[in-house]
Chains A and B, each alone.
Chain A
Amino acid sequence: MKFDTPATTNPIDQLKVVGKPTDRIDGPLKTTGKATYAYEWHDVAPNVAYGWVIGSGIAKGRIASMDLEAARKAPGVVAIVTAENAGPLDKSKRNTATLLGGPEIEHYQQAVALVVAETFEQARTAAGLVRIDYTPADGAYDLAAVKDKAEKTKDGDSVVGDFAGAFAAAPVKLDETYTTPDESHAMMEPHATIAAWEGDRLTVWTSNQMIDWMVTDLSATLKMPKDKVRVISPFIGGGFGGKLFLRADALLAALGAREAGRPVKVGLSRPLMMNNTTHRPATIQRVRIGATPDGTITAIAHEGWSGNLPGGSEETATDQTRLLYAGANRLIGNRIATLDLPEGNAMRAPGEASGMMALEVAMDEMAEKLGMDPVEFRIRNDTQTDPADPNRAFSQRQLVQCLRLGAERFGWAKRNPQPGQVRDGRWLVGLGVAAAFRNNLLTKSAARVRLDQRGIVTVETDMTDIGTGSYTIIAQTAAEMMGVGLDKVAVRLGDSSFPVSAGSGGQWGANNATAGVYAACVKLREAVAQKLGVNSADAQFADGQVVAGNRKIPLAEAAGADGLSAEDGIEYGDLDKKYQQSTFGAHYVEAAVDSATGEIRVRRMLAVCAAGRILNPKSARSQVIGAMTMGVGAALMEELALDKRTGFFVNHDLAGYEVPVHADIPHQEVIFLDETDPISSPMKAKGVGELGLCGVGAAVANAVHNATGLRVREYPITLDKFLDRLPAMG
């Protein structure tokens, strides 16, 4: 189905099932332990052997020698795979460094060997006996040190008007630099894969967000035909972008299984997840804003620097600034430098998550300089069109409504604009606000829908559920379209034998995958109508029946003994070129700062989101509160601590890399504006899972400023960065 004109009324608009706060249909499987995660398929691959990955002990250089003797002789060892015996491998274009390194080493903990043994313990013990000598080389590890060597990215700068002139002439100006650290996805489930060969066919049970990318990249890396690889990943214990790509677990499991001649299981240890896989790269961001005294922005510049391995991409931290606020003169762009750190890549809301942490603090600082309320300052500079192209309107843009409603619900009027004034015992208390912004991305997505003689509708698509609720919203979509209850819908996901979907990433999963299911269901409805000899336009699908004229036929009957099946997908025209499609929100935070120790504790949070039709308010709320939690982590504690001498992330486990715990997360409230966006898809929905993260960190930072009067422009805002500026102790 081609979607190239805005949606009109369709069966989804009935909202009998879609839009309801349905519990997740896969919940019972998860709470009873029946959902099979990648490492837990105990009966698919008999005689499985266990692989343990050895990562490089240096960040850059060469392996001088590798002594495998002792490991080979260790009890239970079945095989050892290294670059020497792995056979010829390609590198897919979605991987920056090779997944099996050696003799050249590109980053710390780059996989250099897999030891396969009868048991997990034997594999790990034998791995400890492998002796590797390295010849280290000098590398570049510190972004600040290489910043001046950074280059403009291929997208180039967005230049509108004359920024330099307008900024120089602006009566009120801000020029500040902010930094965000490297971050780890830190999802619960490690990367893990079971691989099994049958002749020249390979099956992997894995944990991956993008099934088709995985099939493409695994077959390309192994130099084998794509149709000989099957990927199965129905349950995923979190990914946050860390599982978008083929990683060492899957490649090495496949190589290990080939070498061992039997299935092999590989899970990455937490230290390997931190240094072997991808991470959100650190940024340095300079923001300049010029305005007239009434708060009208006349000039805005946002430049962002990040680093990556050669060939890796940049963190697009400045991109939202092209679209969020008005301003006639603009200069916006990203720069990239070469760093020999583990590969930087997408982590939840790549670009905006880091970029909003700078831009939205800059807006707060600017409001303060102007003596304006920060909510009003943002509203003053709202734009309903793309600031670089006034002919290009936003499909929907309710930023102002989000800010206003949030201010009202949060009690913003009670905020003391004078920072450092509100005390509660030993705590300094403050309120902060930030806008939320994330683009809505359109990608084609397909599904197959089958109707059987019991009237059961089964949806199959290679879409993934990374804990987000895909199973549930897909079931709701099919139920609405086919006029059945959720109990009559079965959803099967995460298998490369199913039609290719949008997958999970970039908050594009929900809207695109359900639109694909919608398309397939439209086709199935046509097949049903045709079978019943009625005009599909006249047929009503409701309560398990097809109603046409005065005929009422049970769906099951239409299916007949052989059942009916339809496959289709959604494909997009140029509506996303004609219109700018984005999601909006407002974050409000109350934070308290211990006046003695500087410990920061968030007390209250509210997010108001305008993100098209909310397909399931319960799962959408879960996404947003999870994102708000992640934003607190980014603001206050998350940082991959870098050893700048030797180029690795030192705090490589969950004791060292702190993410918020329950005690850090107070009352969280989420409000969704009643919105539909017919320009987005037939579902009229948009993404929401990343929107909830964009801006939260800045709202926390702004609340800390309001509480203390102090600005920390270097995330995370830990007490060591401002302790000496707190008021003297009495």
Chain B
Amino acid sequence: MRPFTYERADSPAAAAAAVQRRPGAKFIAGGTNLLDLMKLEIETPAHLIDVNGLKLDTLEATPDGGLRIGALVRNTALAADPRVRRDYSVLSRALLAGASGQLRNKATTAGNLLQRTRCPYFYDTNQPCNKRQPGSGCAAIGGYSRQLAVVGSSDACIATHPSDMAVAMRALDATVETVRADGTTRTIPIAEFHRLPGDTPHIETALVPGELITAVTLPKPVGGTHVYRKVRDRASYAFALVSVAAVVQRDGSGRVAVGGVAHRPWRVEAAEAEMPRGAKAVTAGLLADAKPTHDNAFKLTLVERTLASVLAEAKG
């Protein structure tokens, strides 16, 4: 871990100003991902701005019937909120399928969206990794890639985004609210928030340096049956091999987002038209351009079978 300086910000504007004073600074929320990465010198910020005091830890109804989730709302609190459990239960289930109780108590909404990949080569600084060290190569391609992406990957990187929460938020059409270092604010649809790796796998989101997430907003509830199914090698405390977040309406229509398959939560709206025709048809559209490796080709079958099971469950 490199030495760093640290300050606490007490308002979003102050956090933005602090970032402007110290380019290259990072925000720290729960610290459950950032600190691990700093210990391994995968992240080496010279300055940390603690955002825990920003008072962004509340949930509030939006005028159009949706829900605005403060960036600092803990995963535990979000999963337990009665409105989330009632109207967005796919999100509650996704959160509870992630990490462990202790981690969820610390983990924040913004931090969860921004957690970095679990590609094992990313974690070994002896290995080439374009995401960690742009231009150094990708040790995972041709290596051990069982966990890694099957779709949307590039010749530079085949990592996945590991979040469960983000998969549910993708299915719910959430939007991300931010404030930039110059104080201007904007709203980013979740579909545009996480990027595909392309030639620049180190650039993972639409955020610009120093941009602070203030909230994530969910549109008004869409009803339907909410299912989150996470498939993993052990029963708990493991990242998904694949996961499926689905909202299924009584007529069989609905939405599906998939985790564990790509550099971002994976959703193909066009494929959802096939939902009444079943999992095979939907998966064909979802994973049309899949380029799996030898180790992870099973994920194609797994997505289809998991989705079939989810749809059967939703039908009741």
Asked if A125 and B232 make an inter-chain contact with CB atoms under 8 angstroms apart, the answer reads no
Contact among B3, B143, B236 with A663 in the assembled complex (CB-CB below 8 Å):
B236
Closest-CB distance, A220 to chain B (whole angstroms): 31
- Most chain A Cβ neighbours within 10 Å, of B232, B234, B238, B302: B234
**Inside 8 A of A636's CB, which chain B residues have their CB?**
233-234
Query: Which of chain B's residues has its CB closest to A653's CB?
Result: B123
Asked if B143 and A650 make an inter-chain contact with CB atoms under 8 angstroms apart, the answer reads yes
Asked if A271 and B279 make an inter-chain contact with CB atoms under 8 angstroms apart, the answer reads no
Q: Is A641 an interface residue (CB 8 A)?
A: yes
Q: Is A392 an interface residue (CB 8 A)?
A: no
Asked if B305 and A650 make an inter-chain contact with CB atoms under 8 angstroms apart, the answer reads no
CA gap between A720 and B298 in the complex, in Å: 6
Query: Which of chain B's residues has its CB closest to A722's CB?
Result: B298
Asked if A658 and B234 make an inter-chain contact with CB atoms under 8 angstroms apart, the answer reads yes
Q: Is B291 an interface residue (CB 8 A)?
A: no
Per-residue CB proximity of B158-186 to A under 8 Å, as 1/0? 00000000000000000000000000000
- Most chain B Cβ neighbours within 10 Å, of A58, A121, A601, A655: A655
Per-residue CB proximity of A690-730 to B under 8 Å, as 1/0? 00000000000000000000000000101110011010011
Per-residue CB proximity of A578-598 to B under 8 Å, as 1/0? 000000000000000010111
CA gap between A724 and B143 in the complex, in Å: 23
Asked if A645 and B298 make an inter-chain contact with CB atoms under 8 angstroms apart, the answer reads no
Q: Is B11 an interface residue (CB 8 A)?
A: no
Asked if B309 and A645 make an inter-chain contact with CB atoms under 8 angstroms apart, the answer reads no
**Inside 8 A of A642's CB, which chain B residues have their CB?**
144
Query: Which of chain B's residues has its CB closest to A633's CB?
Result: B234
- Most chain A Cβ neighbours within 10 Å, of B120, B301, B309: B120
Q: Is B27 an interface residue (CB 8 A)?
A: no
Asked if B3 and A125 make an inter-chain contact with CB atoms under 8 angstroms apart, the answer reads yes
**Inside 8 A of B143's CB, which chain A residues have their CB?**
643, 645-646, 650
Contact among B39, B238, B309 with A597 in the assembled complex (CB-CB below 8 Å):
B309
**Inside 8 A of B239's CB, which chain A residues have their CB?**
655
CA gap between A637 and B237 in the complex, in Å: 13
Closest-CB distance, B73 to chain A (whole angstroms): 24
**Inside 8 A of B2's CB, which chain A residues have their CB?**
125, 128
Asked if B305 and A661 make an inter-chain contact with CB atoms under 8 angstroms apart, the answer reads no
Per-residue CB proximity of B268-304 to A under 8 Å, as 1/0? 0000000000010000000000000000101001101
**Inside 8 A of B229's CB, which chain A residues have their CB?**
597
Query: Which of chain B's residues has its CB closest to A637's CB?
Result: B233
Asked if B120 and A656 make an inter-chain contact with CB atoms under 8 angstroms apart, the answer reads yes
CA gap between A661 and B301 in the complex, in Å: 26
Closest-CB distance, B110 to chain A (whole angstroms): 21
CA gap between A598 and B306 in the complex, in Å: 10
Query: Which of chain B's residues has its CB closest to A134's CB?
Result: B126
Closest-CB distance, A54 to chain B (whole angstroms): 10
Q: Is B7 an interface residue (CB 8 A)?
A: no
Asked if B309 and A596 make an inter-chain contact with CB atoms under 8 angstroms apart, the answer reads yes
Interface residue ranges of B131-152 to A (CB < 8 Å):
139, 142-144, 146
**Inside 8 A of B279's CB, which chain A residues have their CB?**
729
**Inside 8 A of A142's CB, which chain B residues have their CB?**
none
User: Given the interface contacts A661-B236, A729-B279, does A641 sit within 8 Å of B302 by beta carbon?
Assistant: no
Closest-CB distance, A251 to chain B (whole angstroms): 22
Q: Is A373 an interface residue (CB 8 A)?
A: no
Interface of B is mostly: loop
Query: Which of chain B's residues has its CB closest to A655's CB?
Result: B118
Closest-CB distance, A542 to chain B (whole angstroms): 51
Closest-CB distance, A504 to chain B (whole angstroms): 28
Asked if A121 and B235 make an inter-chain contact with CB atoms under 8 angstroms apart, the answer reads no
Asked if B231 and A599 make an inter-chain contact with CB atoms under 8 angstroms apart, the answer reads yes
CA gap between A336 and B173 in the complex, in Å: 57
Asked if B1 and A125 make an inter-chain contact with CB atoms under 8 angstroms apart, the answer reads yes
CA gap between A470 and B237 in the complex, in Å: 32
Closest-CB distance, B5 to chain A (whole angstroms): 14
Q: Is A24 an interface residue (CB 8 A)?
A: no
Q: Is B121 an interface residue (CB 8 A)?
A: yes
**Inside 8 A of B233's CB, which chain A residues have their CB?**
636-637, 658, 716, 718-719
Q: Is B124 an interface residue (CB 8 A)?
A: yes
Closest-CB distance, A527 to chain B (whole angstroms): 54
Closest-CB distance, A719 to chain B (whole angstroms): 7
Q: Is B314 an interface residue (CB 8 A)?
A: no
**Inside 8 A of A726's CB, which chain B residues have their CB?**
305
Q: Is B43 an interface residue (CB 8 A)?
A: no
Interface residue ranges of B201-254 to A (CB < 8 Å):
229, 231-239, 241
User: Given the interface contacts A124-B1, A125-B3, A128-B2, does A601 sit within 8 Å of B302 by beta carbon?
Assistant: no
Q: Is B41 an interface residue (CB 8 A)?
A: yes
Asked if A723 and B298 make an inter-chain contact with CB atoms under 8 angstroms apart, the answer reads yes
Q: Is A660 an interface residue (CB 8 A)?
A: yes
User: Given the interface contacts A650-B120, A650-B121, does A637 sit within 8 Å of B302 by beta carbon?
Assistant: no
Closest-CB distance, A327 to chain B (whole angstroms): 37
Asked if A650 and B124 make an inter-chain contact with CB atoms under 8 angstroms apart, the answer reads yes
**Inside 8 A of B301's CB, which chain A residues have their CB?**
723-724
CA gap between A726 and B305 in the complex, in Å: 10
Asked if B238 and A641 make an inter-chain contact with CB atoms under 8 angstroms apart, the answer reads no
CA gap between A36 and B308 in the complex, in Å: 53
**Inside 8 A of A729's CB, which chain B residues have their CB?**
279, 304-305, 308-309
**Inside 8 A of A94's CB, which chain B residues have their CB?**
none
**Inside 8 A of B146's CB, which chain A residues have their CB?**
641, 720
Asked if A597 and B235 make an inter-chain contact with CB atoms under 8 angstroms apart, the answer reads no
Closest-CB distance, B95 to chain A (whole angstroms): 17
Interface residue ranges of B37-86 to A (CB < 8 Å):
39, 41
Asked if B238 and A645 make an inter-chain contact with CB atoms under 8 angstroms apart, the answer reads no
Asked if B123 and A643 make an inter-chain contact with CB atoms under 8 angstroms apart, the answer reads no
Q: Is A57 an interface residue (CB 8 A)?
A: yes
Per-residue CB proximity of A106-121 to B under 8 Å, as 1/0? 0000000000000001
User: Given the interface contacts A663-B234, A720-B146, A720-B298, does A641 sit within 8 Å of B305 by beta carbon?
Assistant: no
Asked if B1 and A661 make an inter-chain contact with CB atoms under 8 angstroms apart, the answer reads no
Closest-CB distance, A722 to chain B (whole angstroms): 10
Query: Which of chain A's residues has its CB closest to B3's CB?
Result: A125
Asked if B298 and A719 make an inter-chain contact with CB atoms under 8 angstroms apart, the answer reads yes
**Inside 8 A of A598's CB, which chain B residues have their CB?**
302, 305
Q: Is A91 an interface residue (CB 8 A)?
A: no
Contact among A271, A643, A660 with B144 in the assembled complex (CB-CB below 8 Å):
A643
Q: Is A426 an interface residue (CB 8 A)?
A: yes
- Most chain B Cβ neighbours within 10 Å, of A594, A599, A645: A599
**Inside 8 A of A75's CB, which chain B residues have their CB?**
3
**Inside 8 A of A577's CB, which chain B residues have their CB?**
none
User: Given the interface contacts A650-B124, A720-B298, does A663 sit within 8 Å of B235 by beta carbon?
Assistant: yes
Contact among A645, A653, A661, A720 with B235 in the assembled complex (CB-CB below 8 Å):
A661
CA gap between A730 and B280 in the complex, in Å: 11
4 additional A-B pairs beyond A75-B3, A598-B302, A643-B139, beta carbons within 8 Å, are A597-B229, A643-B143, A645-B143, A729-B304
Question: Residues of A with Cβ closer than 8 Å to B?
Answer: 57-58, 75, 121, 124-125, 128, 271, 426, 594, 596-599, 601, 636-637, 641-643, 645-646, 650-653, 655-656, 658, 660-664, 716, 718-720, 723-724, 726, 729-730
A-B pairs with lowest CB-CB distance, top 8: A57-B126, A596-B309, A663-B235, A720-B298, A663-B236, A729-B308, A650-B144, A650-B120
Q: 22 interchain pairs (CB within 8 A)?
A: A124-B39, A125-B2, A271-B124, A426-B309, A596-B308, A597-B306, A598-B302, A636-B234, A643-B144, A650-B121, A652-B120, A655-B118, A658-B233, A658-B234, A658-B238, A663-B234, A719-B231, A720-B298, A720-B302, A723-B301, A723-B302, A724-B301
